Each structure stands twice: as structure tokens, then as C-alpha cells.
Amino acid sequence: MARELRGYFGSPLAYVLIVIFLLLNGFFTFFISGFYELEQADLRDAFFRWHPWLFLVLVPAVAMRLWAEERRQGTMELILTLPITLKEAILGKFLAAWLFITICLCLTFPLVMTVAYLGDPDLGATFCGYVGSILLGGAYLAVGSMTSSITRNQVISFVLAAIICLFLVLAGFPPVTDPLAELVPKWIVDIVAGFSVMTHYQSMQKGVIDFRDLLYYGSLIFFMLFANGVILQARRSS
């Protein structure tokens, strides 16, 4: 919804988030990963690999106000009595926030230009990487939107969203899954890892847009937003 988007850019929070996002991105890429030392014109290892962790903090911060703020200000009553359906309201807010995250991501374009200037990167893979990051952001955002509808307190919403997202990441994070594989049969690990954003994120970073990954993100977003709707509906009627 346009209001949300304008709301973001109207408030200092947006700029703070954008700046933090870009700074952290640069920090991780250049200092932690040692982008220059890699001597590879490739963004995957240096840049995109940090996104699941960066987004863990930033996306819940974007999402936390979506519904919690409406509830706190009492405008929930206003928005839900205007002639729009609950579905439209949820989708509108979600899309606006998603667009905001996409804009944040797009602002990292100098990095791509640098790489393109220094070497000859696989631009197709970079594009895939961006698509993967945007989808990842959408998935986190849907989680955040859902937790935001549970509470009127933005901080609680933020923490809940971060925890759920962390779980989604860790379920497919090799340092977690490897020890796990020694304890339980492999198929259980695979199933658990299948729920993780990590598994689906990494395949996209390799430059492959697989239909299954799209389906995963699509269904995760759908499920979370659906839960969002159910929560709002239930909150209204009790």
C-alpha cells in the first residue's frame, strides 16, 4: 500500500535502516570476507552469503510496525472498516514493505558495478543472487508481518520474528545440520533442512532459479500471510 511506502520514507527509521544495511553489507563484504583478497570477480561468497544473517536483524525491523503500530494507534479499526478486504490490507502492507526491502537491495548496485569494472563476473548469477535475496527478504517479511499482528508491542514483534527467522536459517545451516546428521537418520535431517530458507537460498546463489525454490518461498510467504489473516480475524472477533 502506498501509505506504508510513503510512511517508510517519511520516517527517519527508513533512512537509518538503509544506511545500516548498506554499511553492514560493505563491512561484511570487504572486511570479513576479504573481498579484495579473494581476487575473484564473484559476489556469491563475499556478498550474498551474509544476507540471511543481515536480514535476520533488518527485515524484522522493517516488518515490526506493520500491524503492531496499527493496533497501538487504534487505526486498525479505521483500516478494517474501510471498504477493502482483509486480504487486500495484508497484501498491500506486505508488498509495500517488500518493495522497500527491494529498494534497499537495489542500492547495493555500486558493488555490482565495481565487480563488473574489475573483472568479468557472471551477471546472470548475480541477477539470480539478487532474486534469491529479494525472495529471502520476502519470506522474512511475511514472518515479521505475522508476528507483528500478534502484538501491539513492536519490540516483541521484532524479537519473535527474529527468532522464527533464525530457526528457519539454522535448520539448514551446515554447522547445525552436520552434527545433527550424526544423531538422527539422514532423511530427517533432509526434511528439516528442506524447511530452511538456507537450503533454498544457496541453490539460487549458484545461479540456478529452480521452480522448487520459488515454490518454497511462495508457499512460505503465503502460509505466513495466511496465518497473519487468521490472527487478525481471531483478534477481531474476541
| Contact residues for other proteins, defined by CB under 8 A | 2-3, 6-7, 10-11, 73-78, 80-85, 236-238
Residues 6+ apart with CB under 8 A from 32: 50
Question: Could you give the C-alpha distances from 229 to 115, 119, 233, 236, in angstroms and in order?
Answer: 43, 47, 6, 11
Q: Output the smallest distance, CB 152 to other proteins, in A.
A: 13
Kindly tell me which of 78 and 116 has the beta carbon lying closer to other proteins: 78
With CA atoms as reference, report the closest residue to 118 among 33, 48, 41: 41
Question: Could you give the C-alpha distances from 207 to 122, 124, 160, 195, in angstroms and in order?
Answer: 9, 7, 32, 21
Kindly tell me which of 81 and 117 has the beta carbon lying closer to other proteins: 81
Q: Output the smallest distance, CB 17 to other proteins, in A.
A: 15
Q: Output the smallest distance, CB 77 to other proteins, in A.
A: 4
Kindly tell me which of 95 and 181 has the beta carbon lying closer to other proteins: 95
At residue 138, the 3 state secondary structure works out as helix
Kindly tell me which of 83 and 185 has the beta carbon lying closer to other proteins: 83
Q: Output the smallest distance, CB 51 to other proteins, in A.
A: 29
- Residue 167: CB atoms within 10 Å: 13
- DSSP letters, 80-105, are TTSSS-HHHHHHHHHHHHHHHHHHHH
Kindly tell me which of 75 and 219 has the beta carbon lying closer to other proteins: 75
Q: Output the smallest distance, CB 82 to other proteins, in A.
A: 5
HEC-encoded secondary structure of 197-209: HHHHHHHHHCCCC
